Structure 1
Amino acid sequence: MSKLQELNKLETLKRLGASYTGYRLFLALGLLAILLVSMNDLIIGARHPKAYLVLSIAYVLICGMNFLTFRYKQKYLSQQLFVYLIIDYLHLSAILYLSTGPNIAIVLLFMMLVLAAVMLLSARKALIITLLSVIAVVYQQFFYSIFGDGNVAFFGTSSLITLVFLSTYAIARIGIRRLKFIESVATTQRSAIFQLQQINQNIIEQLETGFMVLDQQGMIISINRSAENLLQLPNDMLLRSKDLHHIDEKLLQEILRHKAQNYKGTFIYTADIGVELNIHYRPIITRNQTQQLTLFTIESMDKINQQVQRLKLASLGQLSASIAHEIRNPLSAISQANELLEDDIDDDLKSLTEMIDKQCKRINRIIEDTLNMSRQNQTVSEDIDLYPWLRSFIREDLMDVQKHLRLTIEAKTEIHFDPHQLRLVLINLIRNAIRHGHQHIPNSRIDIKAHRLGDYTMIDVIDQGTGVSSAQLQNLFEPFHSTAVNGTGLGLYLSKTFCEANHAHLKYIPQTQGACFRIECPLMED
């Protein structure tokens, strides 16, 4: 028997025991009241009325104490109930002795005793109570027939009562066994259902997508943690009330407005803090549904845009692989033909072949950049401690310009990022900073700072150049847009794409002198 089944059995025994002790007290008071009302015409205890009166008063007191004891001290339930049933047996046996013989009232009381024993006790103890009841009826009648004024004809009645008691015990045992089996199955199923509910709830709680269920009155039936965070619903409000009217009136009005137009659909909701949310709603159809429920699926537009960006990156990666195969072969032929021409043409035309060679190399760099994007379309993020990582990165990948870099890292700055993609982004940003900074101030320093600001970890790359003009800023992160003569226009676009694929943002921060490109990464959850 499982622990849950044992607990259920104990709770059932407590309920049945409490009911039985209440029945005993009620019965005791009822028998005493009947005795006092019909003192001159007793049905029970007519042989010795005064003794029956004393017995009834004592039984009321005992049942009252048993009722209080069972209610406030339930330490040994089975033993307590067995003692109560023995007391009842002795009480009924005394009633039988004080009466003129077994009648229908006494038979019914003994049958109740047998039924109670079967429900409350084990099979052995219940059988003991049943046999004691049989003995009480048979032997007391035998005693009166021999030594008293009883009639031998009572033996036939006693035999019939014995058969009734034993039949009651057998039928009750079969019924109780069947009920216990049904209860065991129900307990197992209830436990399985509860376990499934817990598993489903845990799964829903782990999802980044928010889920909320509302009824027709705007009461929150169910909501997961992601939905609470996305909608910025205060936990203290949810604990006090589940009425969305009191929690977020603006959201409820927006929901009612869209539901009035369509019974299912999608709308964009802007929270008070300025975050845009994509909310999809549809009715929940269930069997025997007493009220109409609506399921709301809530997602951040930033997350959706990131997913779209990843799909764009994957599509562009597949396209780039096709472009490489299509362009590289004719480009290789042009380059080889140009090398052959260099040996046979005059010096006056050398500038043309140099121009062809230069543009061929530029096209080849564009192909390499797009292929890099194709190879990196699968993001594999991991936890990165920036202090050792950045120092190792500069030593391994930027040794030739290390003397121009100044690294500042706050303690305990960590991010969750794909290391290879972060390496590509920083190489592009730092080499861009060196190129633009040195054009304005030769050998100027490039500052690389890692620090925390609010809910983000920042990586800043700052140069001492002329910065980015307002005209250039509009198309700064667009593909194939470049301010350098020999630039491909894909560096910043790829860097921004890689950042968004890792739930980060690449931004340009205006400076009084120079330019600052900042990578904003959400703080890692503990």
Structure 2
Amino acid sequence: MRVVSDSFSFRRLGLWYGIYRLIIASSLLAIFFLNLSQSTDDYKYQTFYIITLIVYTFISLLQFLLLYLSQSLLPKKIIFFSIIDVSCFSLLTFAQGAPNLHISLLFAITIFITNLLLSHRKALSLTLLSIISVVYIPFIDSWLYTHHLNNIGSTLFLAFLFLVIYFTAQFTVKRFENLTKVNNSQSIAILQLQDLNQYILEQVDMGYLVINDKQHVILVNPAAHELLNIEAAQPIKDTPLQSIQPELYEYIIFNRLSQGERFIFEPQGLTKQIHIRIQKLKVPQQLLTLFIMQDAQKFNDHVQQLKLAALGQLSASIAHEIRNPLASIVQANELLADADDSERAMLQNMISKQSLRINHTIESTLDMARSQTPITKTILLNHFLIECLKDDFSDVPKDQIQLSILLQIYIKFDETHLRQILINLIRNGLRHTSKEQATVEIKAYTKNQYAVIDIIDFGSGIPEHHIRNLFSPFFTTEINGTGLGLYLSRSLCDANQATLNYIKLKHATCFRIECPLVVV
């Protein structure tokens, strides 16, 4: 288990280790001769000390030259050098007669470095060798001279310190390896994302050109190559825009481009026009400009398709909204022939009212399509809900719709819009509620300065995979449905600064309208 795995880094650290050993050996030699003139009491065996030190310095020099000149068998050389270090430090400690702070520190550094450069087992072996190299000294000294143990406490403490350094170094190595693994995985993920982005850029029909503040090209995809008539073989990256597309360069120089600006660019020699949109990109230490390019003819075709889709959606919305009042007119017309005078007047009044409602629905939908502001007014919700149920749900038995509203609640809303929203949601609930509990509950209450209207039915509920598409246009699970009821209801709520959301209940389905309260 080695922190440094590649040979180049391992050799470089090995050389630094060799330089360190050479400096240590030379420094110990210099310190000895400087202290020699002052005192010799620090060395129990002075001659043995200086001989060991000279030999160690000479070996360190040879080992450094061997590391520098040859790159083969680097791990084995590091092991050999570490054994030499431990042996020489042990002999120097013996020559001093007792553990010394400076030599002990060199032991500790050697143990820590070997944990970084060598495998777990080899580092442990060298640590145990270091412990043996200091523990044997008091016993040998006692056997040869004093016949009793001296400095055994400091020696055992030093051995314990070596073990602490070993475990600390191993913990450091493992943390470093984990960080390295995380870094490598992140680097791989970044490279994969770069490859994916590059692949996407190569496949899309839109042209993308990125330049820096010096007007040098940073990125250009194949679609931009084709639109700007740039040769594919021509080197692009970090190339001045002036050299590959001088006309676009001149346009940029003479026109200050702002964020989101759009313009039509027509290069000389090409029959097609290019629709370009500007996007400013702020990245560290520089500002980039992204040109999003598309063939102008294709862009115009796409816009035309969107217009046709919007027209179709508007037509379907109108058809959907006039279906309910038209059904009431047909029903009243059928009953008109057999009705008496009082009933005839009531039915004619219903036909007139529903006809006006159809006309108003068409006008309101057209107004919404023209982005006109809704005509809002203060509404007393209590009276409005009762009137809506009476006028628009006369064909529904009274016990099938239960209204619960205890307080007087005032809101600001377009009356026609709110009526359309309620009709859509209540009719929807009546269609989906269960036969066992064939009712729809309407609850109106206040919550945190908001008026809340809940329309609850007790059907089988909405499947999880349908929830995300509930308010999408043309989404429906009914054969004869248009899929515009919920979409239009939410659109009308948005236009009146209200919200419409689906609320999942345990045994029921709830659609909730929330809008700000009005204080009267």
TM-score w.r.t. length of structure 1: 0.50
Q: Which amino acid aligns with 2:259?
A: Y
CA distance in structure 1 between the partners assigned to 2:161 and 2:124 by the alignment: 14
**CA offsets 1:133-162 (integer angstroms, 9 cap, x no match):** 000111134223322579833222111111
TM alignment of 1:498-517, pairs within 5 A: none
Which residue of the partner structure matches residue 197 of structure 2? 200
1:145 to 1:203, Cα distance in 2 relative to 1, 3 A: same
**CA offsets 1:68-127 (integer angstroms, 9 cap, x no match):** 434xx4xx5544543443343334334434444321111111111111122222222211
Aligned residues: 305
Which residue of the partner structure matches residue 230 of structure 1? 227
2:280 counterpart of 1:248: no
Which residue of the partner structure matches residue 277 of structure 2? 280
CA distance in structure 2 between the partners assigned to 1:156 and 1:37 by the alignment: 27
Which residue of the partner structure matches residue 118 of structure 2? 121
Which residue of the partner structure matches residue 297 of structure 1? 292
**CA offsets 1:319-357 (integer angstroms, 9 cap, x no match):** xxxxxxxxxxxxxxxxxxxxxxxxxxxxxxxxxxxxxxx
Contact 1:210 1:298 in 2 (8 A): yes
Alignment partner for residue 267 of structure 1, among 237, 250, 263? 263
Mark the runs of 5 or more structure 1 residues left unpaired by the alignment. 1-5, 319-526
Alignment partner for residue 182 of structure 1, among 179, 182, 189? 179
Displacement after TM superposition at 1:316 (Å): 12
Displacement after TM superposition at 1:261 (Å): 5.2
TM alignment of 1:12-411, pairs within 5 A: 14-15=8-9, 18-32=12-26, 34-36=28-30, 38-39=32-33, 41=35, 46-48=46-48, 49-70=50-71, 73=72, 78-147=75-144, 152-234=149-231, 238=235, 241-258=238-255, 260=256, 262-274=258-270, 275-285=272-282, 289-304=284-299, 307=302
CA distance in structure 2 between the partners assigned to 1:82 and 1:273 by the alignment: 72
CA distance in structure 1 between the partners assigned to 2:101 and 2:2 by the alignment: 39
Q: Which amino acid aligns with 1:69?
A: S
**CA offsets 1:356-383 (integer angstroms, 9 cap, x no match):** xxxxxxxxxxxxxxxxxxxxxxxxxxxx
CA distance in structure 1 between the partners assigned to 2:118 and 2:298 by the alignment: 62
Q: Secondary structure at the match of 1:177?
A: helix
CA distance in structure 2 between the partners assigned to 1:111 and 1:174 by the alignment: 16
Contact 2:52 2:88 in 1 (8 A): no
Which residue of the partner structure matches residue 406 of structure 1? none
CA distance in structure 1 between the partners assigned to 2:30 and 2:147 by the alignment: 26
Mark the runs of 5 or more structure 2 residues left unpaired by the alignment. 37-41, 314-520
Contact 1:22 1:67 in 2 (8 A): no
1:193 to 1:34, Cα distance in 2 relative to 1, 3 A: same
Contact 1:29 1:60 in 2 (8 A): no
1:230 to 1:81, Cα distance in 2 relative to 1, 3 A: farther
CA distance in structure 2 between the partners assigned to 1:80 and 1:51 by the alignment: 21
1:280 to 1:122, Cα distance in 2 relative to 1, 3 A: same
Cα RMSD after superposing both structures? 3.7
Q: Secondary structure at the match of 1:292?
A: strand
Which residue of the partner structure matches residue 325 of structure 2? none
Using the aligned pairs only, state the percent identity: 27
CA distance in structure 2 between the partners assigned to 1:135 and 1:210 by the alignment: 72
1:246 to 1:136, Cα distance in 2 relative to 1, 3 A: farther
